[in-house]
Structure 1
């Protein structure tokens, strides 16, 4: 189908634009972003129209859904990055006192000792998880099936907690 004919494209644009924009606004919940995303949908239509003109509505819906979810995923990644940056660069936080530094070092040493008491696989699973690896990546590194990773991490965490509790001073 050769949509780039100006009159044909205009006809399709005016027919479908309100619906595409409305669906995008409902999906992303941002009016100005919906305008931009709707333009992207019709830009893709102009560049790469569907082969079957009868499937225009379905094609536009599929493209707008994909564009909308891509936008939401990008926004979520940006929000996570900003949250991490705020945690790292909190301007109101005062530098730690000498006592806090010593206590943090002692806590780190305790955790290292507790980790040493775990099996290699449990230790590696926990370290990978807290280094930001996904379950699929952890499964690949450990050579296990991805569904097993959750159970493995749960058990390793329980063992770590058990070591931490057993090392507490008895009253």
Structure 2
């Protein structure tokens, strides 16, 4: 029988079907782990992130709507959210550790550096806002989620050439808009 993630997620949502979940886990856990490792996670951390992603799939299966997203896109969105949540949690922990540091370096505020960073951030945001929704989506999947072009093609259900074209056009727009920052 062909792998049908929509059917499997529906079974998990409606009957808490452990067999369906096992199939989903077997299919997606290695892919999510691979994505996390491409984003810089160690193998152990990537395993943890993949497991957390699939646990969230188990808990949120009833929220899946196949009319709004295909199953792979939904699973990778969960993975991205797990990764972001963990980074935020780690960031808060790092901020707390910095607050515990007694060195005076952190007390010396440099307003000019903060202003420069804020200006650069605004330029990047406004340039990214000029991308089409389709371009922004493939850029996020490629550069922020670390998916390969073929994986993006599979997730979005579009031809590989279309993915490459959207990325090329988006990068050209970003280069044009960010020229002063280079």
Query: Shorter-chain TM-score: what band?
Result: 0.3 to 0.5
Which has the greater radius of gyration? 1
Normalised to the residue count of structure 1, the TM-score between the two structures is 0.46
The alignment's TM-score, normalised by the length of structure 2, stands at 0.44
